[in-house]
Chain A
């Protein structure tokens, strides 16, 4: 399988504190890659550096090489807005904007210059269908999105991210704020989405990683300890630390 993201010797500092140490990873296209590891191990930080969301935090310094489709993500002159259009993001806590369902989904396309009503209607419907929430929301498009349940809000956020037609979807613990039923719906959705998109997701839940992901990366104290096929990582981990973590000896 083709690799869509390659990272070489990447280090990241928050001021004086080094949060990531020499991370090397190649993420295959149209697959689901899960990042696991204890809190504060750097997995979210790493995820956010893939579409430069860390730029928003002052004092972050990054060295090494991060490439998306061969192009350096941190090169001078990279249009960050275009990068984030290609590499979309879904956050831990559902964060729909305080506007209607329709306007939420149309926000991205409008941002990137689409104003034709018919075209927008089409995009919004397709995004909502892809996020498996069209049937629930088709009669409530004009309603404020903040009135939806948590699970619906998160699927709306996924639809919102899909509406700009990204290649990669970064998901930062997308189900940690949701109930079990909403969680399993999102998991099913994610498994369908990998037909068209590359998905990279951070999860605290190891069962979730086993259930959904094709590849798993285990982070510990800012290091990428082990990366490989999910089946291999969970059945025959090569590193003692991985084994200790997945068997629940710490975490």
Chain B
């Protein structure tokens, strides 16, 4: 009977698709696990207290990554500190104040494009823009990363602003509140989770960035103070990883750094989940 054969064909087709999708999941998961385990197995045994707590010395041939860890944290902090107010401010202006629809679309399109540009191009521009005037230093690196992450923060905030119900704004305006008061008291508190999401995305990118920093922040491995040291060059963990692996052939150290970077990423994601859960709980009250 043709009817039966059709349904059997369909059943086979369904089963085949299910197997194919299962396979894709399997491959994806296997790749992630392999990468994680490989890096951890190669890296963790090389992590020693001496490595974490000292600076490198050519005299004693000691290798330490304390300066690189500090530089990474400095750049992370500095970039976020500058990019947050800029990005959130721009997003608020575009979503709440701007009325020129065409200009708005243009800016959004530009931001979208900006976030797709290879980071090495940011490095090149950052070198000409910042390193030429202030020298190769952490500040120049941070400023380059600010440009790079501005669209991320801006877009994440904008998306979040869209989720704040229009009725809240109407309610506040209806009570005679001015624009800024509405934004500050009703709109902004409703989009904090979006800002945090943007921050985490940006933090992840900053942690992992090397190409843009090779051009702008330099390779020095000395412990710097904050904030005065920001005028000096310094390598972050990713840059140090590149240097140790490619130029010095110290693969053990490189893998140790890789493992540390992975721990940091996991930590950030973990913190993000906690913060977001807390906000969701407060919202659902």
Closest to A111 in B: B177
Complex partner residue of A95 from B170, B176, B181, CB under 8 angstroms = B170
Q: Give per-residue flags for A55-80: 1 if the beta carbon is below 8 A from chain B beta carbons, else 0.
A: 01010000000000000000000000
Cα separation A164 to B168 with both chains bound (whole Å) = 17
Shortest CB-to-CB span from B282 to chain A, Å, is: 8
Q: How many residues of B contact A (CB 8 A)?
A: 21
Instruction: Assess whether B167 is in contact with A91, with CB atoms less than 8 Å apart.
Output: yes
Instruction: Assess whether A97 is in contact with B171, with CB atoms less than 8 Å apart.
Output: yes
Instruction: Assess whether B165 is in contact with A88, with CB atoms less than 8 Å apart.
Output: no
Complex partner residue of A161 from B175, B185, B186, CB under 8 angstroms = B175
Shortest CB-to-CB span from B167 to chain A, Å, is: 4
Q: Which of A127-172 contact B (CB under 8 A)?
A: 143-144, 146-147, 157, 160-161, 164
Cα separation A56 to B108 with both chains bound (whole Å) = 22
Instruction: Assess whether A95 is in contact with B167, with CB atoms less than 8 Å apart.
Output: yes
Contact of A111 with B173 at beta-carbon distance under 8 Å, contacts A97-B168, A98-B190 already known: no
Residue from B171, B174, B185 whose CB has the most chain A CB atoms within 10 Å = B174
Closest to A90 in B: B174
Instruction: Assess whether B175 is in contact with A84, with CB atoms less than 8 Å apart.
Output: yes
CB of A93 within 8 A of chain B?
yes
Instruction: Assess whether A53 is in contact with B170, with CB atoms less than 8 Å apart.
Output: yes
Cα separation A115 to B184 with both chains bound (whole Å) = 17
Residue from A56, A83, A97 whose CB has the most chain B CB atoms within 10 Å = A97
CB of A89 within 8 A of chain B?
yes
Cα separation A144 to B189 with both chains bound (whole Å) = 14
Q: Give per-residue flags for B185-228: 1 if the beta carbon is below 8 A from chain A beta carbons, else 0.
A: 11001100000000000000000000000000000000000000
CB of B283 within 8 A of chain A?
yes
CB of B243 within 8 A of chain A?
no
CB of A51 within 8 A of chain B?
yes
Closest to B181 in A: A111
Complex partner residue of B173 from A56, A98, A160, A161, CB under 8 angstroms = A56
Residue from B168, B175, B181, B190 whose CB has the most chain A CB atoms within 10 Å = B175
Shortest CB-to-CB span from B199 to chain A, Å, is: 21
Q: Which of B135-182 contact A (CB under 8 A)?
A: 165, 167-178, 181
Shortest CB-to-CB span from B103 to chain A, Å, is: 14
Shortest CB-to-CB span from A149 to chain B, Å, is: 15
CB of A108 within 8 A of chain B?
yes
Q: Which A residues lie within 8 Å of B167 (CB)?
A: 91, 93, 95
Q: Which of B265-285 contact A (CB under 8 A)?
A: 283, 285
CB of A184 within 8 A of chain B?
no
CB of B24 within 8 A of chain A?
no
Contact of A112 with B176 at beta-carbon distance under 8 Å, contacts A58-B99, A97-B186, A107-B185 already known: yes
Shortest CB-to-CB span from B106 to chain A, Å, is: 18
Q: Which B residues lie within 8 Å of A108 (CB)?
A: 175-177
Q: Which of A94-123 contact B (CB under 8 A)?
A: 95-98, 107-108, 111-112
Given contacts A95-B165, A96-B171, A98-B189, 13 further A-B contacts (CB under 8 A): A51-B174, A53-B170, A84-B173, A88-B174, A88-B175, A93-B167, A95-B170, A97-B171, A97-B186, A107-B175, A108-B176, A146-B285, A161-B174
Listed A/B pairs (27) with beta-carbon separation below 8 Å: A53-B170, A53-B173, A53-B174, A56-B169, A56-B170, A58-B99, A81-B176, A81-B178, A89-B170, A91-B167, A91-B174, A95-B168, A95-B170, A95-B171, A97-B172, A107-B175, A108-B175, A108-B177, A111-B175, A111-B176, A111-B177, A147-B285, A157-B171, A160-B175, A161-B174, A161-B175, A164-B176
